[in-house]
Amino acid sequence: MWNPGFTAARTQRAVVQGYKRRFWNFSFDHRGTFENPGLVACAVESENVSDHIEGLILDIPRCCFREIMEQLDVREKCGYMRKLVHAFEPMTGSCLGRVFIYSACDDDPYLDVFMRPMNGLDNTLVELESIARTIATAEGASGRNIDYLLQLHAALKAMGSVDYHVDSLVDMYQSF
């Protein structure tokens, strides 16, 4: 959202229903290393239909759609899969159409990149502290993991979006 890697032809705020944003995807290349993996955000399908993620629709210019999609597929290669989902306008709930998202792919037998919540419980204090400590110490080729969290947090705040998972991680980090 804050660093898409291309210049969008147009952006629009949107909501995707049935997903939640979680820092559960290990990053060995961008925000961590194999010795000290970072954690990056992923869209996780939720059984709770009221769960949703808010973000931006980034229109890719037609002239370079294929090239940009190929670049995004490479960047999001580790633990993500591209999906086509419906996006909705946050205030009115009207459907904006179908958009691509990169969602968590936790069932790939060749990849062990997905952190599962302890005891199946999500957003517990123990889990949040563990995630925040991992983010606080990891650094990879794309920079410090904490910078990634703080940039995402700032982008969400600038949109007027509340994400309790991201907010809780920032609060936890700042309490260390």
CATH number at residue 33: 3.10.490.10
Distance from the Cα of residue 83 to its chain's centroid: 14
Q: Are 151 and 55 in contact (CB under 8 A)?
A: no
Is 124 within 8 Å of 118 (Cβ atoms)?
yes
Residue 5 belongs to a domain: no
Residues of the chain with pLDDT under 70: 106-123
pLDDT at residue 110, as a whole number:
42
Q: Does 20 fall in a domain? A: yes
Structure tokens at 43: 């869209």
How many percent of the chain have pLDDT more than 70?
A: 90
Q: Is residue 2 part of a domain?
A: no
Answer for the pair 116, 24: CB distance below 8 angstroms, yes or no.
Answer: yes
4 lies in some domain? no
Q: Is residue 137 part of a domain?
A: yes
This prediction's pTM? 0.87
Is 1 domain-assigned? no
Give the span between the Cα atoms of 159 and 138, in whole angstroms: 27
> What range defines the domain where residue 14 resides?
10-174
Kindly state whether residue 65 falls inside one of the protein's structural domains: yes
Q: Over the stretch 122-141, which tens digit does the pLDDT of each residue have?
A: 667 778 898 999 999 999 99
Split into its structural domains, the chain has a count of 1
For residue 110, tell me if it sits in a domain: yes
